[in-house]
């Protein structure tokens, strides 16, 4: 019996060795490597795999959104779908120059390629305009309906200079709602849902251009939300707006009420854009009553970070100061503010914002005489000062008024309920 099993074992071993020899011979002599004989993944699969492993932060696959991808990203995407590289350039032109909203409207691109993109889950990344409110001064507030049926507001502000040329500013949101709940701001009262993705920030600028039928010249990150709490997406959107939409960095402003450690992070990018810090008070005690988050970020620490930001970037910091009647608008407040700014450097600019009324607020707008007295006190202390012109007030589109009922809870999509929701909407925006 042992002899029989031994013969069987030796026979099997010779067979296995012969198979190995044959395979080794094939690898040595065959002109086509076995790796190439394997079944190739489809263009859709290859595109997904390629973008899943891409190192560029602007080419993450989770979104499957074209808006926000660079020209190189789009060329690579086209090649991964089995297309020639110039198809990516066509995509770039259609998205950023022609501002096309839908893949099926890419008529210069082969239908098969369009269909493959859609089948793989790709889309341009443009949200529909849900509603539009036009103020008497020409300011337009748009409500965009996001993919999850939440609404965000963005504002287009046309300003004509002395020479008759028009500057169009887009005030963009960075979050759906805001978690910081500043006492004078409507956005925080409406609740907070989530951060916006970078393409959801960029598309606001494209929507403003679409409505005004002209290019946006300036962008301010002063809409709904705290930009520094969504800094990664804000920086990606800033890069896209600069490189792809071609808006100069110096024509953009990033606003913050102050979030610990983020100003230093922003400084490390050495942007040429303006940093606007919402100060609203000249001392810690008063600031805590107006800005609840100030408790975790003391005024001294904030001012120190602003000083270091200027030293690292050589870009002056602009301080936003909402004037609230009887709260922070006295001449003594102005003198204390000037002393604070001089303590932490020079070259600062203060942008005063007379309070814009919001429903349910106990605050009041100061009289013009009080505003001018505040300005005079700052200027006499050699602080450069400006007063923000109120725009879009009759459309609830002025600074601090940005809010809607669907920041926290999504819009009901049932067509029977849609009309009933519109009249009850609190349409509001910041600028």
Residue 16 lies in a domain: no
Find out whether 47 and 120 touch, Cβ atoms under 8 Å.
yes
Task: Check pLDDT > 80 for residue 44.
Answer: no
What is the domain-level CATH number for residue 48?
1.10.150
From 69, 90, 119, give the residue that closes a domain.
Answer: 119
Answer with the residue of higher pLDDT: 38 or 280: 280
What pLDDT, on a 0 to 100 scale, did the predictor assign at position 67? 98
What pLDDT, on a 0 to 100 scale, did the predictor assign at position 187? 74
Does residue 181 share a domain with residue 90? no
Does residue 109 share a domain with residue 74? yes
Q: How confident is the model at residue 180 (pLDDT cuts 50, 70, 90)?
A: confident
From 119, 142, 162, give the residue that closes a domain.
Answer: 119
What pLDDT, on a 0 to 100 scale, did the predictor assign at position 408? 53
Does residue 114 share a domain with residue 133? no
Does residue 73 share a domain with residue 188? no
Please state, as a whole number, how many other Cβ atoms lie within 10 Å of the Cβ of residue 358. Answer: 20
Q: Which of 153, 203, 226, 320 is catalytic?
A: 153
What pLDDT, on a 0 to 100 scale, did the predictor assign at position 428? 37
Give me the number of domains the chain comprises: 2
Catalytic residue flag (residue 30): no
What pLDDT, on a 0 to 100 scale, did the predictor assign at position 147? 93
What is the domain-level CATH number for residue 240?
3.20.20.70
Does residue 420 share a domain with residue 321? yes
pLDDT digits (tens, 9 = 90+) for 248-272: 999 999 999 999 999 999 999 999 9
Does residue 138 share a domain with residue 56? no
Does residue 298 share a domain with residue 372? yes
Cα separation, 47 vs 58, whole angstroms: 15
Does residue 156 share a domain with residue 77? no
pLDDT digits (tens, 9 = 90+) for 184-223: 787 777 789 999 999 999 999 999 999 999 999 999 999 9
Residue 351 lies in a domain: yes
Report the SS3 class of residue 288: helix
Does residue 385 share a domain with residue 264? yes
From 119, 146, 163, give the residue that closes a domain.
Answer: 119
Does residue 235 share a domain with residue 294? yes
Residue 1 lies in a domain: no
Cα separation, 273 vs 247, whole angstroms: 11
Find out whether 321 and 286 touch, Cβ atoms under 8 Å.
no
b/e per residue 200-209 (b: at least 16 CB within 10 A): bbbbbbbbbb
How far are the Cα atoms of 216, 387, 428 from residue 390, in angstroms, in the given order? Answer: 19, 9, 14
pLDDT digits (tens, 9 = 90+) for 93-151: 999 999 999 999 999 999 999 999 999 999 999 999 999 999 888 999 999 999 999 99
Q: Which of 171, 185, 240, 399 is catalytic?
A: 399
Residue 3 lies in a domain: no
Does residue 404 share a domain with residue 293? yes
Does residue 331 share a domain with residue 194? yes
Catalytic residue flag (residue 153): yes
The residue range of the domain holding 94 is 43-119
pLDDT digits (tens, 9 = 90+) for 335-359: 999 999 999 988 789 999 998 877 7
For the chain, percent of residues with pLDDT exceeding 70:
75
Structure-token match 């679409």, residue found:
210
Find out whether 388 and 351 touch, Cβ atoms under 8 Å.
yes
What pLDDT, on a 0 to 100 scale, did the predictor assign at position 357? 76
Answer with the residue of higher pLDDT: 309 or 61: 309
């Amino acid at each position: 019996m042992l002899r029989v099993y031994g013969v069987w074992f030796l026979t099997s071993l010779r067979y296995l060795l012969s198979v190995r020899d044959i395979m080794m011979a094939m690898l040595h002599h065959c002109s086509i490597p076995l790796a190439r004989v394997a079944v190739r993944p489809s263009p859709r699969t290859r595109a997904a795999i390629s973008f899943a492993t891409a190192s560029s932060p602007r080419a993450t696959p989770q979104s499957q959104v074209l808006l926000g991808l660079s020209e190189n990203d789009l060329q690579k995407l086209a090649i991964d779908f089995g297309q020639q590289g110039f198809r990516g350039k066509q995509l770039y032109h259609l998205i950023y120059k022609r501002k096309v909203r839908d893949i099926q409207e890419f008529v210069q691109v082969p239908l098969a390629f369009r269909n493959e993109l859609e089948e793989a889950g790709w889309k341009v990344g443009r949200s529909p305009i849900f509603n539009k409110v036009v103020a008497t001064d020409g300011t337009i507030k748009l409500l965009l309906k996001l993919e999850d049926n939440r609404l965000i507001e963005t504002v287009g502000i046309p300003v004509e200079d002395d020479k008759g040329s028009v500057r169009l500013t887009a005030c963009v949101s960075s979050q759906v709602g805001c978690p910081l709940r500043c006492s004078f701001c409507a956005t925080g009262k409406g609740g907070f849902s989530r951060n916006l993705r970078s393409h959801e920030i960029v598309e606001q600028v494209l929507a403003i251009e679409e409505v005004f039928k002209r290019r946006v010249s300036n962008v301010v990150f002063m809409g709904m939300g705290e930009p520094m709490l969504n800094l990664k997406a804000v920086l990606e959107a800033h890069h896209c707006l600069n490189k792809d939409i071609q808006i100069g960095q110096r024509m953009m402003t990033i606003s913050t009420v102050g979030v610990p450690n983020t100003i230093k992070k922003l400084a490390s990018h050495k942007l040429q854009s303006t940093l606007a810090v919402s100060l609203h008070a000249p001392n810690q005690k008063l600031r805590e009553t107006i800005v609840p988050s100030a408790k975790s970020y003391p005024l001294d620490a904030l001012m120190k970070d602003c000083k270091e930001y200027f030293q690292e970037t050589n870009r002056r910091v602009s301080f936003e100061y909402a004037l609230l009647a009887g709260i922070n608008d006295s001449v003594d407040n102005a003198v204390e503010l000037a002393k604070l700014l001089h303590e932490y450097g020079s070259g600062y600019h203060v942008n005063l914002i007379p309070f814009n009324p919001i429903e349910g607020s106990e605050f009041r707008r100061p009289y013009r005489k009080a505003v001018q007295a505040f300005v005079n006190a700052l200027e006499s202390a050699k602080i450069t000062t400006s007063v923000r012109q109120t725009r879009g007030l009759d459309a609830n589109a002025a600074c601090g008024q940005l809010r809607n009922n669907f920041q926290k809870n999504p819009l009901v999509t049932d067509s029977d309920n849609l009309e009933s929701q519109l009249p009850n909407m609190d349409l509001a925006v910041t600028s």
